[in-house]
């Protein structure tokens, strides 16, 4: 049974750094935001123990604690944080139009502005040993976690530009990086391949896949398999980085918002504006380049300011 329709000024979808920062700014601008957390309250950072690079935490902080603090800061200014998943949207193409949103396939909300902060999910290989050791040496973010493996031997899986970029980033920090490429060639651009091939402590193994991540509590090694010969071999490593891509969480917006070929929402110029008036996107959902908590928070701030200015313009036009 559907409940009665609720009308609000600002709806924020997602509870990562982008969503909560948008909420802090929107609440302080008196937009009385309502934020839906989705299936992962606190977002991706709740899956990591150490965040060392978010400004303002000189000793570092664990991800779940940081996200609770962001939520508390958003609530302090009046954000209403609700558990729930946005399951359908019907955006208005009209300036000043009302956007219709369905939560958990039941509740209907009408919003004057919508801020999308649904993030992007890192892809993993799906091996049980990889899943067991996530947070224990298996990571999908070299820029976030590479520092913890300074001077150590690590491996990275992937063959695209991001994988090549992350492999050379790791090679700057680690004593040795082994890069596993499934095919007999790399998808990365020629320039990136050149960088990889000219990095001394970076070895590329083609036609090679992960057979099993070794270690009980933490990563201790990797068993690899050559997919041409079936031959298996092992190396000792302390960190395994998975760089096989991300999937932006945008399925429910398909057909309504402009996206790139991977599904990242396209925003206009330096703003967070989408192709729909009054609909804004912030954080990883619109960023296939940086994907960091601080950049997500920065664009969350921008989205709330864009929403506030959009509403102010409507009022002047009335
Ligand atoms: C293991 C790991 C470690 C990391 N470490 C660091 C680090 O040390 N430093 C750093 O800067 N970055 C780190 N990152 C990257 C950082 O977590 C992301 O860049 C950041 O969380 C992106 O924020 P976001 O708000 O855009 O999205 P996310 O954090 O991905 O949050 C998305 C939110 O949207 C919600 N959602 C999705 N779909 C719906 C829906 N339909 N309805 C309602 N809600 C929905 C989810 O429940 C979630 O709350 C790490 C990432 C990972 C995976």
The mean per-residue pLDDT over the stretch 131-145 comes to: 93
Kindly report, residue by residue over 38-60, the tens digit of the pLDDT. Answer: 999 999 999 887 899 999 999 99
pLDDT at 315: 81
pLDDT at 159: 95
2 has pLDDT over 70: no
Query: How far is 25 from 308, CA to CA, in rounded Å?
Result: 9
The mean per-residue pLDDT over the stretch 59-78 comes to: 97
Length of the chain as a residue count: 318
Spacing of C-alpha 162 from chain mean position: 14
Residue in 185, 193, 184 with CA at minimum distance from that of residue 161: 193
> What is the 43 CA–ligand 1 centroid distance (Å)?
4
For 124-242, CATH number out of 3.10.20.600, 3.50.50.60, 2.40.50.140, 3.40.640.10 equals 3.50.50.60
Report the chain's terminal Cα–Cα distance, integer Å: 36
pLDDT at 318: 62
pLDDT at 3: 61
Task: Give the number of the atom of ligand 1 that is nearest the alpha carbon of residue 52.
Answer: 8
Query: How far is 23 from 163, CA to CA, in rounded Å?
Result: 33
More confident residue, 287 or 47: 287
Q: Which helix (H) or strand (E) is 80 found in, with range?
A: strand 80-82
3-state helix, strand, coil in the chain (%, to 5): 30, 25, 40
Mutate to test the pocket of ligand 1, among 13, 119, 298 (most ligand atoms within 8 A of CB): 119
Superfamily of domain 6-121+246-316: FAD/NAD(P)-binding domain (3.50.50.60)
Angle at 290 between CA 285 and CA 294, to 5 degrees: 85
Spacing of C-alpha 287 from chain mean position: 8
Kindly report, residue by residue over 237-277, the tens digit of the pLDDT. Answer: 999 999 999 999 999 999 999 999 999 999 999 999 999 99
Question: How many other C-beta atoms lie within 10 A of the C-beta of residue 161?
Answer: 16
Query: How far is 32 from 9, CA to CA, in rounded Å?
Result: 7
pLDDT at 121: 93
Mean pLDDT of the chain: 96
Catalytic residue IDs: 141, 144-145
Asked if residues 157 and 243 have their Cβ atoms less than 8 Å apart, the reply is yes
**Residues framing ligand 1 (Cβ under 6 A):** 13-19, 36-41, 43-45, 47-48, 51, 53-54, 85-86, 117-119, 122, 139-141, 144, 249, 252, 283-285, 291-294, 296
Kindly report, residue by residue over 76-129, the tens digit of the pLDDT. Answer: 999 999 999 999 999 999 999 999 999 999 999 999 999 999 999 999 999 999
Joined together, the tokens standing for residue 170 give 């790791």
> Do the domains 124-242 and 6-121+246-316 match in fold?
yes
All structural domains of the chain with their residue ranges:
6-121+246-316, 124-242
CB-based burial label for 169 (10 Å; 0-12, 13-18, 19+): middle
The mean per-residue pLDDT over the stretch 51-72 comes to: 95
- Give the pTM: 0.90
Kindly report, residue by residue over 10-31, the tens digit of the pLDDT. Answer: 999 999 999 999 999 999 999 9
The mean per-residue pLDDT over the stretch 226-241 comes to: 98
317 has pLDDT over 80: no
Give the SS3 label for residue 291: coil
The mean per-residue pLDDT over the stretch 178-199 comes to: 95
pLDDT at 47: 84
pLDDT at 68: 98
Residue in 63, 43, 41, 59 with CA at minimum distance from that of residue 51: 63
1 has pLDDT over 60: no
Question: How many other C-beta atoms lie within 10 A of the C-beta of residue 28?
Answer: 16
pLDDT at 200: 95
Antiparallel, parallel or unpaired: β 221-226 and 208-214:
antiparallel
pLDDT at 135: 86
């Amino acid at each position: 049974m559907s409940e009665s329709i609720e009308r609000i000024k600002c709806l924020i979808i997602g509870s990562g750094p982008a969503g909560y920062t948008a909420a802090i700014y929107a609440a302080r601008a008196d937009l009385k935001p309502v934020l839906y957390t989705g299936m992962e309250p606190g977002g991706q950072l709740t899956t990591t123990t150490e965040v060392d690079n978010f400004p303002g935490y000189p000793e570092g902080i664990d991800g779940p604690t940081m996200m609770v603090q962001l939520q508390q800061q958003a609530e302090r200014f009046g954000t209403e944080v609700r558990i729930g998943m946005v399951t359908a949207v019907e955006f208005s193409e009209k300036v000043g139009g009302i956007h219709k949103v369905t939560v958990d396939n039941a509740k209907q909300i009408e919003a004057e502005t919508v801020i999308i902060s649904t993030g992007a999910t890192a892809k993993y290989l799906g091996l049980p040993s990889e899943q067991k050791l996530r947070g224990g040496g298996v990571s999908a973010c070299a820029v976030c976690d590479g520092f913890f493996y300074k001077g150590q031997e690590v491996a990275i899986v992937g063959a695209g530009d991001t994988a090549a970029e992350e492999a050379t980033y790791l090679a700057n920090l680690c004593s040795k990086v082994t890069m596993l490429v499934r095919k007999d060639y790399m998808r990365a651009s020629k320039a990136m391949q050149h960088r990889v091939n000219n990095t001394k402590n970076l070895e590329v193994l083609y036609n090679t896949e992960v057979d099993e991540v070794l270690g009980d509590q933490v990563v201790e090694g990797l068993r690899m398999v050559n997919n041409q010969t079936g031959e298996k071999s092992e190396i000792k490593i302390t960190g395994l980085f998975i760089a096989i891509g991300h999937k932006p969480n945008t399925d429910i917006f398909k057909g309504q918002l402009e996206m790139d070929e991977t599904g990242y929402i396209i925003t206009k110029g330096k703003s967070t504006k989408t192709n729909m008036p009054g609909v804004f996107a912030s954080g990883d959902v619109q960023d296939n380049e940086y994907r960091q908590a601080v950049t997500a928070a920065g664009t969350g701030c921008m989205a709330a300011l864009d929403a506030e200015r959009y509403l102010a313009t409507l009022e002047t036009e009335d």
